[in-house]
Amino acid sequence: MNPVLLGLIAGILGLAVGVFGVLAFAASQRQRKEMAASDDPAIPDGAAEVLAAIGRAYIVVDAIDGVVRASPGSYAFGLVRGHTLVPPELLEMTARVRRDGVIEERQLELQRGPLGQGSTILHVRVAIVGEEYILILADDRTEIARTEEVRNDFVANVSHELKTPVGAISLLSEALDDAAGDEEAVRRFAARMSKESTRLTALVQDIIELSRLQSTDMVDRAREVDINSLVNDAVEATRLPAETRNTTVVVGGSVQGLVYGDAKMLTTAFRNLIDNAIRYSPAGSRVGVGLRSRDGMAQVSVTDQGPGIDAEEQERIFERFYRIDSARSRHTGGTGLGLSIVKHVVANHGGEVNVWSQPGQGSTFTVRLPEMETSDTTAGDGNREQGVSA
């Protein structure tokens, strides 16, 4: 064949291949743009609007569990990374729903972050949507579950704490009846019964007080209060136990501004802190109460000379019924609710309470409450000091 003719044919074929390649590339680009600009046709019309309005995290996955759509919440919960569904529990659920065609619901507890510090509890619902997609809805139930756990623990702890003094009183009453002819034994058992009944009364009162604090709106009873006066009232209320243990309570410093709050609640909180310091300090020691104003906050610190608290225990001492040493708490007559009451009262007033302590060096509990903003502070002189001994 003529070489010139062969060259011409080869050129025509090359040109045709080139033109076909360009056309194919253009068609591919056009198709990609159309796919990017349009919603997935297999998902029913309006689904995106409905998903955005339901108030839950959602994920739509395809037939191979590739993420087609996902809400910001699903990324925040760690359910989706990039275009991948992460939790293996969800992958198992989507496989079963795809196989059986039945909606599945489950509550999952997922670790937060790679270090597993804390967990998130999600109620998950998985269902088929459209022709080939799976819809996953996730609702955060962490706070609800935590509240339920606290409630169950509270009921269990109350039952346990009430059982001890009630059982002791029952046994002592039987022993008292059997020892009716022994005057010394009668006096001994009667004293024990009086002590247990006092403990029972204190426990019931603290339970009622804590329940009232959780159900009362502080704003309804709030007014301008002078913290200096409330602390003096709290010291006076603890005078008897202080005298019994030969403990001196010394108050120093002052708070300059007023605080907006419930005087009765705040006095209860300060009384509990001072009473706690008296109980855990050695007999014949001193409890210090310091007052000051700093950065617009009223600060009240209560310092004892007790055994101190280990660092790992300090995060838990404000929990209901938590005791570092149960035997010592029974000996001192504590109910395990005093610090929990303090925490609730302070939180209700927009403040905070924290503790500094080291074993063998005592403890200092500090309450900080926001002072009212006034142009003329009349609550007291910053250089004033007051001393009260109990």
Hey, where are the domains in the chain? 47-140, 142-215, 219-390
Read off the pLDDT band of 368 (50, 70, 90).
very high
Q: Give the CATH class of 47-140.
A: alpha beta
pLDDT at position 171: 79
pLDDT at 365 over 60: yes
pLDDT at position 217: 53
275 within 8 A of 312, measured Cβ to Cβ = no
Q: Which amino acid is at 308?
A: G
Scanning the chain, the segments in alpha helix (DSSP H) are 3-37, 47-53, 72-76, 88-100, 142-178, 183-215, 218-221, 227-237, 239-244, 263-280, 311-314, 326-332, 338-348
- Range name among 30-39, 57-66, 97-106, 316-325 with the lowest pLDDT average: 30-39
Residues 237-248, mean pLDDT to the nearest whole number: 90
Read off the pLDDT band of 383 (50, 70, 90).
very low
The angle that helices 183-215 and 142-178 make with each other, rounded to 10 degrees, is 160
- Range name among 159-173, 201-215, 233-247, 256-270 with the lowest pLDDT average: 201-215
Residues 112-134, mean pLDDT to the nearest whole number: 75
In the CATH scheme, what is the code of domain 142-215? Answer: 1.10.287.130
141 within 8 A of 123, measured Cβ to Cβ = yes
pLDDT at position 114: 46
In the CATH scheme, what is the code of domain 219-390? Answer: 3.30.565.10
Helix and strand counts by DSSP (H, E) for the chain:
13, 14
- Range name among 8-12, 54-58, 189-193, 226-230 with the lowest pLDDT average: 8-12
pLDDT at position 155: 66
pLDDT digits (tens, 9 = 90+) for 265-292: 899 899 989 998 998 889 889 999 999 9
309 within 8 A of 363, measured Cβ to Cβ = yes
Better pLDDT: 283 or 178:
283
Read off the pLDDT band of 5 (50, 70, 90).
low
Read off the pLDDT band of 94 (50, 70, 90).
very high
Cα–Cα distance for residue pair 135/133, rounded to 1 Å: 7
Domains 142-215 and 219-390 share a fold: no
The pLDDT mean for the chain works out to 76
pLDDT at 138 over 70: yes
pLDDT at position 76: 81
pLDDT at 334 over 70: no
pLDDT at position 312: 72
pLDDT at position 47: 67
Query: Rounded to two decimals, what is the model's pTM?
Result: 0.50
pLDDT at position 188: 82
- Ranges 14-28, 76-90, 183-197, most confident: 76-90
Helix (H, G, I), strand (E, B) or coil at 280: helix
Better pLDDT: 209 or 370:
370
If we measure between CA atoms, which residue out of 374, 216, 356 comes closest to residue 299? 356
